Amino acid sequence: MTKFQGKVVIVTGASRGIGAAISRAFAKEGAFVIINYLQNERMAEQVASECIELGGDGWAVQGDVTSESAVNRLIEQVSLETGRIDVVVNNAFKPFKFDPEQRKLSWELKWEDYQAQIDGAVRSTHYMCQGVLPIMKKQSQGSIVNVISNLVERPIVPYHEYNTAKTALMGYSRNLAAELGSFGIRVNCVAPGLVYPTDASRTTKEELKEMIIAQTPLRRMASPEDIAGPVLFLASDWSQFMTGQTLYVDGGFVM
């Protein structure tokens, strides 16, 4: 039997890149995957049909995760349709350009720059978690996996506003894990290194990629598929005694 047969999984920001790869991996294990997207309906529908082809189920649902009312609508739609929510993967984030030469330096940043990234990472996760908690509490089980970044541990490029928001998300996740353990709900993080190709990493300069590869024991960059396995592990019963943890998925760049 596949690992997630009969389970309902929400993946935010899932129309492409890492989110799409995570959705397909869950579907391959028999899950009913809710592919949340903001704008690209065509790509989200494509991911949903791939999920069905892989033996699971897929349903593309539009919703701006930085809006509390949109998140509540999404969760209501899903629970009416499926009656349960087993896993939430908070993968959506506010678009950010990973370009070391074009980044804002600390003295050029305004608070609004930080706020935009904190809203994209922490606010959206907070709304999703608040929304699914009553359902997961009633089930006495659930797994929340938040996608952060290995830059929280080693800011090889100081993308101040992005890295600060992802670090805040790690702190949020740990506090949530401490509170929700008694309800059978686990909260963990996955921290990828540079993942290529994705929309965010498309503009990454060759020399930066080469520098990262040279410092990575496994001597390559992650693909979106590399991130899916650790997410599935944290969502499954194989990790049933793990909560509040961060798994670095970066070929050993951080160790």
Q: Reduced to 3 states, what is the DSSP secondary structure of residue 185? A: strand
C-alpha distances in Å from residue 65, one per residue of 10, 58, 178, 182, 212: 12, 19, 24, 27, 31
Count the helices and strands in the chain (H runs, E runs): 8, 7
Q: Reduced to 3 states, what is the DSSP secondary structure of residue 131? A: helix
- Token couple for 223: 């693909």
Give the separation between CA 235 and CA 188, rounded to whole angstroms: 9
Residue type, 138: K
Backbone angles phi, psi at 11, to 5 degrees: -120, 120
Rg (CA), the chain: 17
Which residues form the catalytic set?
162
User: What's the N-to-C CA distance of the chain in angstroms?
Assistant: 35
